[in-house]
Structure 1
Amino acid sequence: MTRVSVNRTLARLYWLLSLVLLLLLASKFANDIPGIPPFVISAANNFYDFMRDMSLLIATGGVAYISNIYQKRSNFVESLEEEWRNIVRTKSVLLSTCEKPYLATDDYLAAYYRVSETIDTMRIVYRNAGETDGLVGLYPYAPLHDMRRAIQTLDPRVASDVTKEKKALVRDAILQSFYALRETFLEELDLEEPQHPLLIAGSRRLKTPGAAVSARVMEEYQRKKLDRDASPRPDIDVFLTKLRSAEEGEAGKAPVPGR
């Protein structure tokens, strides 16, 4: 379910819940309101007793209904995320095709069928805009077709003398279409700004080498515990010690993975 569908469904549910609560409130105090006919008071009391007896069942059904709504929303978002990953991979294939110095027919066909598959897999996420029982509607994200049409101009079976300038134009057209698609496609994911963004270029680590005293104490304890027993392979220990010492000596010259 899209965000709009979820909000619309929840709004209807909230209105229904508010109406039921108002009716229950009126039924509860119907005996205290003067001027109400006896048959109305009797009906109000019966309604209140019925809702009280069925409250557990109604609450269980309501919780199950809301859970079903959010489960559908979760499944939709997962499908949307997978489709976006598919679009990104397709964009990479198309751009790499434009960068090939010699475009073979197999390379072109692989790229063309990749974007064609991406266009068709959109059907598992969205239906066409304005689609009815008698009308096909409009494809929801036209830039994908722009990307397809752009790569079709590089078909080596039709244009055997594609220049670098033509490939560059096709590449820029694919990027422009992708950027336009990204601006609207990701809106449905309810993305938020990161709480700790890193916004400056050329950033570097601000933490200095070292560890807390507790970690150093634990390290020393583990080393002493290990030294109590004789090693079955002293040659391996010597080998690893030399590697560690060499790496620590070079730590200031090159970054060490995982640090």
Structure 2
Amino acid sequence: MTRTSLNKKLWLVYVSILLVIGVSFLATFADLVPGLPPAFLAAAGKIYKLVSDMALLIATLAAAYLANVFQKRASFVTALEDEWRSIVRTKSALFTFCEKQNPSADDYIEAYCRVSEVIDTMRVVYKNAGETDDLIGLYPYAPLHDMRRALQSVDPRKRSNITAEERKLAGDAIMQSFFALRENFLEELDLEEPRHPLLIAAGRRLKRPGARSYARKRQNRQRRQQDRDASQRPDIDAFLWGLYADENGGADSQERSRESVPPTVAR
């Protein structure tokens, strides 16, 4: 279910609820309006009673309908995300083929099967634009076929004299088609800007090495608890402590790596 379909269904639910509330409100205060005929007041009272009796059923039906709508939307978004991941993998496979110096026929068949699969799996996400019972319609994302045709232009089974320039041109065409597809395909997903983006080049970590004192105390306590029992493999302990010291380069770790290891315990 696309975002447009979702909004239409939600709008229908909102309007229906507002109509029910409006009718109930008018029926409630109809007897306060002077000059209304008795027949109208009697009908208003019956309407109010009917709405009151049916309120729980109306709310239940609305909740069930909304749950069904949002479930369809969630399933659609999941299928859309899976299709996009498949498109990205296909783009990488096609570009890799074009970057190889001497791609084989097997390489081509593997790449072609990738793009053929992603073209066909689009059918479980979208139908063709303008499709009817009698008309096939237009494929919803033509750049995928552009990528396929670019790949077919460098099929090593048809020509053995394909140059590196031809493969580069095909690769550039594949990337251009992918970028065009990306601009439109991802619009259907409810994407938002990150709250904590990193927008600068050559970024680096701002936190410095270390931990709060309670974590260091817990680390030392665990170390003392472990040292109470003799190690079964002191050679492994010495090996791991040496690696730890080399990686961290701290005086504490180097000193700990030189400490004597308890004698081996028989297995």
Short-chain TM bin: over 0.9
- Residue of structure 1 in register with 2:261 after alignment: none
Residue 95 in structure 1 maps to residue 95 in structure 2: yes
Residues 64 and 248 (structure 1), Cα distance of their counterparts in 2 relative to 1, 3 Å cut: same
Counterpart-to-counterpart distance in 1, 2:133 and 2:45 = 48
Instruction: Give 3-state SS (helix, strand or coil) of 1:209's partner.
Output: coil
One-letter code aligned to 1:118 = V
Residues matched between the structures, number: 250
Counterpart-to-counterpart distance in 1, 2:45 and 2:166 = 80
Instruction: Give 3-state SS (helix, strand or coil) of 1:195's partner.
Output: coil
1:1-259 paired onto structure 2 within 5 Å: 1-249=1-249
| Per-residue deviation, 1:233 | 2.7
Counterpart-to-counterpart distance in 2, 1:191 and 1:174 = 25
Structure 2 portions without partners, runs of 5+: 251-267
Q: Please, which moves more after superposition, 57-66 or 89-98?
A: 57-66
Counterpart-to-counterpart distance in 1, 2:197 and 2:102 = 41
Structure 1 runs of 4+ with >6 Å offset: none
Name the TM-score, length of structure 2 as normaliser.
Answer: 0.90
Counterpart-to-counterpart distance in 2, 1:247 and 1:227 = 22
One-letter code aligned to 2:11 = A
Q: Please, which moves more after superposition, 153-162 or 35-44?
A: 35-44
Contact 1:108–1:156 (CA<8 Å) still a contact in 2? yes
| Per-residue deviation, 1:21 | 0.8
Counterpart-to-counterpart distance in 1, 2:76 and 2:203 = 37
Task: Output one character per residue of 1:155-199: Cα deviation in whole Å (capped at 9) or x when no partner.
Answer: 112221110100000000000000000000000002111111111
Counterpart-to-counterpart distance in 1, 2:118 and 2:241 = 52
Contact 1:153–1:159 (CA<8 Å) still a contact in 2? no
Counterpart-to-counterpart distance in 2, 1:179 and 1:7 = 28
Structure 1 portions without partners, runs of 5+: 251-259
| Per-residue deviation, 1:35 | 2.1
Name the TM-score, length of structure 1 as normaliser.
Answer: 0.93
Counterpart-to-counterpart distance in 1, 2:116 and 2:238 = 58
| Per-residue deviation, 1:231 | 2.4
Counterpart-to-counterpart distance in 2, 1:108 and 1:242 = 49
Over aligned residues, Cα RMSD in angstroms?
Answer: 1.3
**Percent identity, aligned pairs only?**
58
